[in-house]
Each structure stands twice: as C-alpha cells, then as structure tokens.
Amino acid sequence: MGDKVLSGIKTRAMILLSLILAFGFGSVACRLFYLHIIQGEELSERAVDQQLSDTTVSAKRGSIFDRNGNTLASSASVWKVILAPAYFENDSQREYVSEGLATILGMSSDDILELAKKNDSYYQTVKRRIESDERDKILNFVDEVSKKYERLASVIVLEEDYKRYYPYDDFAASVIGFTGSDGQGLSGIEYEYDSYLTGTPGRIVTENDGWGTTMPFEYQQKEDAQDGNSLVLTIDETIQHFLEKYLKQGIIDYEVAEGAVAVCMDVQTGEILGMAVENSFDLNNPYEIADESAQKELEKLGGTQKEERTNELLAKQWRNKAISDTYYPGSVYKVITASAALEENAANLNSTYFCSGSLVPYEGEKEIRCHNTLGHGSQNFTEALCNSCNPAFMMIGKSLGSEKYWEYFQSFGFNSRTGIDLPGEATGLFFTSDGSMGPIDLAIGSFGQGITVTPIEMVTAMSTIANGGYSVRPYIVKQILDADGNVVETTEPVIKRQVISQTTADTMAQILEKNATEGTAKNGYVAGYRVAGKTGTSEKIGQSRVEGQTDYIASYCGFAPADDPQIAVLVYFDTPTGDAYYGSQVAAPVFASIMSEICPYLGIEAQYTEEELEYVDTVAGTYLSMDIEEALVQAQEDGFEPYICGEGSKVLAQVPQAGSKIPRGGQIVFYTTSDSTNETVSVPDLVGYTVAQVNEIAAEYNINVSFSGSVDLDTVYSYAQSVDPDEKVSPGTVVSVYFGNNDVDDTVM
C-alpha cells in the first residue's frame, strides 16, 4: 500500500516536472521566435546603431551667377574642428590641448576641457566653420601636440565644411536672399531654389567597439557629398548696378521714407534684367539692421519690446517690395484703361473729352478734380493721356463699362500672381472679389485709384503693350547647371495670352512716346532713345505715417525704343517727403538717368534730332605730349574749344581726360607746366535755368556741361546738377545738368 502511494507520488512528480520543463522550453522557444521573427529587424537595426555612428558631411551649395557669369553667391571652404578624447591618457594632456585650442578659437578652455573628458569618444565637435587663418593656426598646433605627445597625433582633426559668401554685400539682396546657419535658404532665390542648390550630404560611418566607444578614424567609411546645382540668373550685374545707383541717389534727393523699387524687364521674353529694392541689407550680415535711424530707435528699447521691434524691422528689410507690396498705381494705370478702350472700340484717336477742371462722376456724388484746376478744355484721346486728365479718363472708363474694365484688369494680370520664380509674391486687389463695380468705383478706377497692383504686375502689364499685346511670365532663373557646369535645365519664355491686338499696342506706343516728349512724362525722356512712358502719383489712403498728413507713391513706367521695344522699366518711390512728390518730379528723372545708361549698354542705337545733336556728348581725344600748337589745331579739328593753362610748350595734362564724355563744342583744357595743374574754378549754381542760360554760365566759369533730360529745350529748366555749387574743380571739368519741367501728373482724389 505504501509502495503504491509512493509510486503514485513519484509518477505525479515526474508528470509535473515534465510539464514544467515543457512549459519552460516552450516559453524560451516562444521568446526566441518573438525575438528572431517578430522583433528581428528592429533589434538588428538597434544593434547596428550601437555598433556604428553616422556623421553627416555637408554638401557644397551651388553658386548663383548673373547672366554673364559674374558670381553673386558662392560657398567657400571652411572647417570643422573635431576632438578625439579617447586618445588622451591623462588630465595634463587634456588641459594642454584644451588651452591651446581655446586660444586659437577664442573659446573657453573649460568648455573644451569638458569635451576632452569624454573618454569613450573619438568624435566631439569643438567649433564649426572656422576660416582659413584659424585653420592654419590649428594645423601648426597639431604639429606641436604630436611632437610633445606622440600618441596625440590624431587627437585633433579638421573636417571640410562650407560657408555662404556674397561678394557684393547688399547687391540685389532682395532677389538673391540668404541662407541660415545650417546652409538652408531662407529668402529670395536661395529659398525658392533651395532644393536645387543644396545638393546631397555625404556620410562618415564610424564603428564602435563592444563597450560603445567610437573607434579611431582609421575605422571609418566615408560617402562623399554631391555638390548642389548652380543657378544662372536673368539679372545683368551692370543693369542691376544702374538701378541701385540711381535709386539710392533718388532716396537721398527726394527724402524718401519707405524705400524704392526699380525693375527692368525684357518685354519679349519676360526675363528680369534687374530688380532693385532700396533700402536694402547686407547679405553677409542679414540679421544686422541696415537702417541707421532704426538702429537708434532700437537703442532706446529693451527686453521683449526690443526683440519684437527687431523682428519687425528685419522682416521689413528682407521684404521684396517689387513683388510683395501692393499700391495704388495712380495715373500709370491710365495706359491700361486707354488700351482697353481702344481695343473695345469704346474710344478712338478722334474721340474728344472736355475738361473744365473737375467732373461729377454721377449725380449726387462729389466732384473729382483734375490736377489742372483751370481745366484742359477740349482734348482728343491722345491729348487726354498726355495731359493725364482725370475727368477725361472718367469719361473713357464710363464708355468702356464696368464689365470690360474688370475683364481687362484680369487679362493684364492684375488679379493673379505673375508666377515669377521668387517667394512671397502678392497680387493686386480689385474693389470686390467677384468683379462687380459701382459707378464711383469705375470713375476712380479709370485713373488708377481704388485698385491695387504690385510693381512686378505693373511692369509686366507695360511689357504687354510694348511687345505687341502678349502677356508674358516674368522670371529670374535662366539656367540650372550641374556641379560640373553643364546646363541641365533652361527656362523658356512663357506667353500666357494675347491681351490686346498688335494695332492697339502700336497705337499706344506712339501715344506714350508723345507723352514722353511733350506730355506729363517728358522728364523721363532720354535724348536719342525714343522713350515711351507714363507717370503716376497716388495717395497712400489710410497708410499715412502722421495723422492728417497725406503720403504718396511716385512712379514712372515706360519702355524703349518706342518703335522697337526691347526693355521696360518701372521706377517706384514710396513716400517722398521732400518738396517734390509727383511722379513727374521724383520718379521720371530717375527713370531717365537709368535709361540713359541701360540703352547704350544694351547696344540700342541712338537716333538724335538735329536739335539734340547740338547737345550730345562725344569723347575727348588724346593730346598729351603734343606741342601746344599741334594740340590746339587737333582739338579744334575734333570740334572742341581749347584753353591753355601755363606758359609751357607741351601738353603735360588735359581736362577732361582722354576718353571722357564731353559735349560737342566743349572745352578742352591743356596744362603746360606742373604748377598750372593747381588752378581751379568754382562750380556755379546751374539750377533753375534754360539750356541756353546754363550754357552761358558754364562758359563764363570755364566748365563743361553735359545735358540730360527732356528734349523740349525751349520750355524746360534745369533742376539738378552733379557737382555742388561752389565746389572747386579743374577748368574743363564736366558737370552733368538735368533738365525737366514743373508739369505734374494728376493728384488723385
């Protein structure tokens, strides 16, 4: 009995043990199945992560060039300083290296020492993007360290990195844009084409040992980075320079408070040859406030208030006003109303409009006045535009009708983005979202008030008239190049639609040319280059800086040559605060100065009238080392009036110098002794005179005058000169004098 019981107990125990063992092995098997099959891939990746460290190698960002190959942005080599603490044997070595690096890099030795104490690492970044001078000092220090401590030969490593450079500082800043600390594009072309410019980063894969320590550099594998693509812009550096030079001067001359814009566009292709936005900023220091008055404002602030204001000012200086700002176009928009009316047969060249000085647009509404409060009387269509007559254009707008007005507003591109390849483009605004208009809307809209446009929309619309009626898409990037300089992509011109007929476009070109020679736009005329253009002056309604004060936008938009248009230029000044604020007084002279340089630069042939030929500049010859008698004869044969300083027998110096521009019949001064070159004359005040009067005064003071401005020499007066009155100059010095008239375009509302 006892044996049976004992035997039963043993049997049950064996069964229980078998069950336990079976369960245990089953659990292990299940766990192994779970680890290998279910979590196998994840655990494998974790194991690799523990055994390998992966470091990104920067790719070289592509360069940005102008259309002629001039570098506007590039990435130059800089270096990353890497420390391998695992090589250190004691604190004495760590302190020696840390203090040496701190001295070279301008860092705290304690901060570097903290990195040096990470004994299990062969890769600690000490400093990024050091320049070549610091790099050379580091290499010399590495030699010192290796001589003092042989084991530390590889404790300091330099890795190549890249830093963005802009060789012209603030040149085309709003177009080019800038990059952030990690090399990513943050604005302008740098942002818009970031994916093309960035390239593909490389990798350094380093093996770790069983304790997680990074192995030395000889255990690394490197995958090279692929450099980014480069961009060739449509921008021409020389044209961009012209735009920026004259905008900056205009801001000074007319005390412009809110900056200025100038855009030059190829009317046939849509290529932007220049886009200047002033006041600008330094691309190499984009976070520095460029405006001195704004800097002084910030000095008075502190804490959160200063931080918030700084951010506002930075956003303002980075803003590309040419594409992001909207404004009331004023009288420049009359070219759109006129084009639409001609195209729709709502008006023709024989249509007449009577201006009494004001017009009540419809019964019950207040009268809207003309800038000529005495009225223009009876005028035909061409005269109405050349007079920039608001009442006449209210009549033209009424004959066109609200539906057609809205149709052409859209067709000319004012209700949608142009599609230019720059970030932040805004779009003009209409009175209503559905295009409906009330009578007063149509009245003021006909002369460019109540609607808003962007500068890029306006110059694109003017290009539509210039090229025969076709709306083209403006663009900035001409080509994309690979790292070897091969063209991988070319931007082709895009014609969106035909807006007006060739006939209408030709008629408008003729009217606008007349306007630039005889009308309110004559201050934008450039002798010999058949300019066509229109001025504009518009109120900044609800945007005045001082309550009760009216601020204005002064603009001029035109193209040349009128008979074979190639380029269109818009000049736009935001809030001139000086004595002058009309487009004809402020923007037109700057437009003329810009065109006077761009047209000959592009090889556009001048066609002078007989009257203009008397005042056209020529080039001074070379008379140095000639006997004085020979020089006198030669200068007279060249058409110049010689003037001798000194009693010598040979020409030792001359003014103007050989190759300088000088008026036909101008004076060449010959210096015949060394002391005679010290002779000077005072520059007279040449402002406020007719051409003939300026000539007389200049001759009296022995200086030359280069004439610039309106062709209508009998009615214009000088309004500026390139050298200040009373300044001492050499006899024969050429002083540029600018001519125009005091006619103004319309003051709206």
Active site residue ranges: 331
Dihedral class, residue 19 (left if φ above 0, else alpha if ψ from -120 to 50, else beta): alpha
Cα 342 to Cα 323: distance, rounded to the nearest angstrom: 29
CB < 8 Å & 24+ apart, contacts of 167-172: 167/71, 167/72, 167/74, 168/72, 169/282, 169/283, 169/284, 170/280, 170/281, 170/282, 170/283, 170/290, 171/72, 171/237, 171/240, 171/241, 171/244, 171/283, 172/72, 172/235, 172/240, 172/244, 172/275, 172/276
Q: How far is CA 428 from the centre of its chain?
A: 20
Give whole-number Cα distances, 297 to 280, 547, 596, in Å: 18, 20, 39
Single-letter amino acid, residue 595: M
CB < 8 Å & 24+ apart, contacts of 112-116: 112/83, 115/83, 115/85, 116/83, 116/85, 116/88
The alpha carbon torsion through 232, 235, 239, 243 (nearest 10 deg) reads -140
Q: Which of 316, 269, 327 is nearest to 476 (CA)?
A: 269
What is the arrangement of strands in the sheet containing 202-207, beginning at the earlier edge strand? 52-57, 202-207, 220-223
Burial class (CB in 10 A: 0-12, 13-18, 19+), 9: exposed
Question: Burial letters for 244-266: b for 16+ Cβ neighbours within 10 Å, e otherwise?
Answer: bebbbebbebbebbbbbbbbbbb
**Residue ranges in 149-186 assigned as alpha helix (H):** 173-176
CB 586 within 8 A of CB 631: no
| CA angle at 110 for the pair 107 and 114, rounded to the nearest 5° | 110
Q: What stretch of H or E contains 222? A: strand 220-223
CB 72 within 8 A of CB 168: yes
For residue 638, the number of C-alpha atoms closer than 13 Å in the C-beta half-sphere is 23
Cα 617 to Cα 704: distance, rounded to the nearest angstrom: 10
Give phi and psi for 146, each to the nearest 5.
Answer: -65, -30
Burial class (CB in 10 A: 0-12, 13-18, 19+), 661: middle
Cα 677 to Cα 471: distance, rounded to the nearest angstrom: 58
Cα 294 to Cα 309: distance, rounded to the nearest angstrom: 9
If you ran DSSP here, which 8-state letter would residue 494 be given?
Answer: -
Cα 359 to Cα 130: distance, rounded to the nearest angstrom: 69
Helix axes 303-318, 292-299, angle to 10 degrees: 170
| CA angle at 213 for the pair 209 and 218, rounded to the nearest 5° | 70
CB 359 within 8 A of CB 384: no
Single-letter amino acid, residue 717: Y
If you ran DSSP here, which 8-state letter would residue 26 be given?
Answer: H
CB 394 within 8 A of CB 355: no
Structure tokens at 243: 């735009």
Single-letter amino acid, residue 189: I
Q: What is the per-residue DSSP string for 641-691?
A: EEEEESS-SB--EEESPTT-EEETT-EEEEE-STGGGG--EEPPP-TT--H
Q: Which of 114, 90, 119, 89 is nearest to 101 (CA)?
A: 114
| CA angle at 31 for the pair 29 and 37, rounded to the nearest 5° | 95
